Each structure stands twice: as C-alpha cells, then as structure tokens.
Amino acid sequence: MTQDRLARVDAQQATEEQKRVIAQLGEGRGRIPTPFNIWLHNPRLAEGMEIIGTHVDHSPVLSEAETEVAILATAVFWNAPYVIANHHRHALKSGVPEAVVAAILDKRRPEGEHGRFGVVCDAVSDILAGGSIDDVRFARYDAVLGRAVIAELLVTIGYFTAISLGMTLHALKPKD
C-alpha cells in the first residue's frame, strides 16, 4: 500500500502567500482542485498555475470537447490513472464521441473525425507524438485552427502534463 504522499495545505495554518492563492482559487474555481495541494507548497508557482488552469477551464478558443481531447490524450500519454479516470468521464459528458475516447484510451490516433474537431484530434496526436511536424501538416493546422488554437493546445497539453506527472508522482488513485 502506498503512503498518502499528497500533503494537503491546511487553510487555517497556511502562510499568507498560500492564503492569498487559496482565496484566488475560491474566486476562480470555488474550491481547491486536487493538483493545487501539490503546488500550494510553492505559492508563487500555484498562483501561476491557477491563472493557466482557470484559462484552460474556460478556453475562449477551444470547445469543451476539444479541450477534453487534449486533456485525455495527455493523461493517457503520461499514463496518469487519476487524470484518465476523471477526464474519461468529462470527455464523454462534453460530447467527445465514444469512438474517439476509445481510440485515445487505446493509445491510437482517432480516425474518421471530420472538420475542425478532426483537425484538433490530429494536432493533439502529432504534438504528443513529439518530433517535428512536417510543413504540410502544420499548414493544415494553421489554416483550419489558427495560431490562437495551436497556442491553446500547447498550453493545455503542457498544463495537463504537469498535472498528470504530479498526480502520478503523488500516487493518487482514481476516484470511484
């Protein structure tokens, strides 16, 4: 049995910096999301992650389903069971087709999706595959999605890479 590695910050005993970030989380999220129990030990980092996380949660350029494709694919890439379980549910609830969710969970590139959603699926797969993306594919992403969406996908994948790694390092198990 793994010990409880997540050292939660008690709001009553928090430093002034931690209390400030906890208040920001309350305003932006209404709660302290689990990963922030990791980041609050470094309040300045937690503050930056809160800004990014709140932005990702309310993306002005990605639909909820597009965001969930990026999140779930990132969690699967990093083999993060807690994040996978949580965002498997969110992906289906947001309208991501079951076939796309199944492909992501099987570590396959989603096939058969068309339009902008299909291009988002392709871009996420290419970004997570690492290496370079050829000019033809990049031009397609730029033409269909635009630079703001490309930037948003990169930040979403980066943010959820940090969450996936943190949750796995701290051995958090999926909630039932």
pLDDT in tens, 31-45: 888 899 999 999 999
Q: Whole-prediction pTM value?
A: 0.92
% of the chain exceeding 90 in pLDDT: 75
pLDDT exceeds cutoff 90 at 4: no
| CATH number, domain containing residue 97 | 1.20.1290.10
Same domain for 46 and 110, yes or no, is no
Same domain for 30 and 73, yes or no, is no
With beta carbons less than 8 A apart as the criterion, state whether 33 and 123 touch: no
- Note whether residue 72 is domain-resident: yes
The number of distinct structural domains making up the chain is 2
- Note whether residue 5 is domain-resident: no
Same domain for 83 and 158, yes or no, is yes
pLDDT in tens, 130-169: 988 999 999 999 999 999 999 999 999 999 999 999 999 9
Q: What is the extent of the structural domain holding 127?
A: 64-169
Q: How many residues are there in the chain? A: 176
Same domain for 134 and 89, yes or no, is yes
Same domain for 86 and 151, yes or no, is yes
